[in-house]
Amino acid sequence: MKITLKVWRQPNNKDKGRFETYGLDVTEHMSFLEMFDVLNEQLVSKKEEPVAFEHDCREGICGACSMVINGKPHGPMKGTTTCQVHMRAFNDGDTIVVEPFRAQAFPVIKDLVVDRSSFDKIIQAGGYVSVNTGQAQDGNAIPIEKDQSSRAMDAAACIGCGACVAACPNASAMLFTAAKVSHLALMPQGQVERSKRANKMVTQMDEEGFGMCSNTRACEAECPKEISWDNIARMNREYIGSVFGSEV
């Protein structure tokens, strides 16, 4: 199949950047990143600069492959990361527009690579978990309701890719921050620093320049791990409780 690829090229954060157009012959069995490998091989053979993009596991686990494909973070498929998208999701003759995640807090490093260290700072602001679990069997014996542990694990599924930020018209990181706050707030091991953690992580999120939630739910719709926006309500309760000195 033949496709036309319009790719955002930006050598550094100071450059304005622009779209460049490439024609490619691909097979429907290629993954989206394999298609980019083919493109870069062609560019290198012509002694041109290859397209910079992030990837690691290529198994939908790490979230490093983040791209906006035809206006949608991670592309057209629900609950799927960029590396899990295959060319069979497109048609022969299609024009595919690929650009980086766009947010003030995610400055472009080069081409499709953005600096997401602001997420790391939010995690670091959350601090540590101080709990004496005893021996391994003691930790495993802590009684936790199945519904509560399931909600905690659903929140912990967040891979920190930033799709929620890219999808949000305000570039809000509330779904990401909420997932990180929630999964520890729901577990007994996270209770000691529960109030302090929510306050510090929300404060750091604001300092990094992310916008506020306006309830469009685009974050939930585009999240490759389908994290529920219910976590945002839980984070708000945790934050309000930390401000007024009571757990809600």
Here the CATH number for the domain that contains residue 24 is: 3.10.20.30
Q: What is the pLDDT of residue 41?
A: 97
Q: What is the pLDDT of residue 126?
A: 92
In sequence order, what are the residues at sequence separation of 6 or more whose Cβ sits closer than 8 angstroms to the Cβ of residue 20?
6, 7, 9
The per-residue DSSP string of 183-247 comes to HHHTSGGGSTTHHHHHHHHHHHHHHTT-B---S--HHHHH-TT---THHHHHHHHHHHHHHHTS-
Answer yes or no: do 86 and 158 share one domain.
no
Q: What is the pLDDT of residue 247?
A: 53
Closest alpha carbon to 51 in 67, 31, 63? 67
Closest alpha carbon to 167 in 73, 100, 78, 104? 73
Answer yes or no: do 172 and 85 share one domain.
no
Q: What is the pLDDT of residue 243?
A: 84
Helix (H, G, I), strand (E, B) or coil at 155: helix
Closest alpha carbon to 24 in 111, 98, 93? 93
Average pLDDT, 10 consecutive residues per value, the chain (248 residues): 97 95 96 97 97 95 95 96 97 97 96 97 91 69 84 95 97 97 88 91 96 94 96 94 72
Q: What is the pLDDT of residue 233?
A: 94
Answer yes or no: do 67 and 138 share one domain.
no
Answer yes or no: do 73 and 153 share one domain.
no
Range(s) of the domain holding residue 158: 116-244
Instruction: Among 60, 95, 110, identify where a domain stops.
Output: 110
Answer yes or no: do 66 and 182 share one domain.
no
57, 63 contact by CB (below 8 A)? no
Q: What is the pLDDT of residue 191?
A: 86
Instruction: Among 87, 110, 133, identify where a domain stops.
Output: 110
Count, residues in the chain: 248
Using alpha carbons only, give the angle 95, 55, 107 rounded to the nearest 5 degrees.
Answer: 80
